[in-house]
């Protein structure tokens, strides 16, 4: 095992070090992070959660994920787009989510924008920014994993051009990692594709 690379988990198998700090992270790392996600509502959920994570730890969001799902109608774009001012006030009082006014407003506004799109359009737009994996070396240590790439900058620009908010290049790259557009599991991690 390379110094600074994957570390043995509770079962002795190598994993990305970040995935070993809590049981929540272990499960997320092993079962979800980096696996391909498709579907407009599914990608809308991930985009929203990454935006809510901005400035916070992912563990905070992960542990409130079910609260977010309940509060935002399972992230069904059409339903969230129809939320009223009363729903907004309900969200801002909901202790099961992050009650950040700008992030709540961005989620509602983004849903309204996306509700006008053709089915599959969000999926197509996001996945059109997946980099070619050929020639992209597997990261050996966490220091090899970027926070922003040219592709995430282009994705953020495309989303912003369409009127979406809270979709900067760092958020876009976190989305790309979480949804399998890139495989940033370390080279010797058991979850590497």
Residues annotated as catalytic (active site), given as ranges: 28, 50, 58
Q: How far is CA 96 from CA 62, 65, 80, 99, in A?
A: 12, 9, 17, 9
Residue 54 CA to residue 78 CA, distance in Å, equals 24
Residue 43 CA to residue 143 CA, distance in Å, equals 27
Burial of 36 (0-12, 13-18, 19+ CB in 10 A): exposed
Residue 38 assigned as binding residue: no
H helical segments located in the chain: 23-31, 40-53, 58-63, 65-71, 77-81, 85-93, 101-115, 121-127, 150-161, 169-178
- Residue 58 has a CB neighbour count (10 Å cut-off) of 17
Sign of the torsion formed by the C-alpha atoms of 117, 80, 95 and 27: negative
Q: What is the largest CA-CA distance in the chain?
A: 54
Residue 185 assigned as binding residue: yes
Residue 179 assigned as binding residue: no
β-pair partners for 74: none
Annotated binding site for Zn(2+): 16, 29, 185, 189
Annotated binding site: 16, 29, 185, 189
């Amino acid at each position: 095992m390379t110094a600074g690379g994957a570390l043995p988990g509770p079962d002795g198998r190598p994993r990305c070090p970040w995935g070993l700090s809590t049981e929540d992270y272990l499960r997320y790392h092993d079962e979800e992070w980096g696996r391909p996600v498709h579907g407009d509502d599914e990608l809308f959920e991930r985009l929203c959660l990454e935006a809510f994570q901005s400035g916070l730890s992912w563990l905070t969001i992960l542990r409130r994920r079910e609260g977010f799902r309940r509060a935002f109608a399972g992230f069904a774009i059409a339903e969230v787009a129809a939320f009223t001012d009363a729903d907004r006030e309900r969200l801002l009082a909901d202790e099961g989510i992050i009650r950040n006014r700008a992030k709540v407003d961005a989620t509602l506004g983004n849903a309204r924008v996306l509700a006008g799109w053709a089915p599959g359009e969000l999926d197509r737009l996001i996945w059109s920014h997946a980099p070619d994996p050929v020639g992209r070396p597997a990261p050996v240590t966490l220091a090899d994993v970027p926070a922003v790439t040219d592709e995430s900058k282009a994705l953020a620009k495309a989303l912003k051009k369409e009127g979406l908010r809270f979709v900067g290049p760092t958020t876009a790259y976190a989305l790309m990692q979480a949804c399998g557009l890139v495989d940033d599991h370390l080279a010797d991690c058991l979850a590497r594709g």
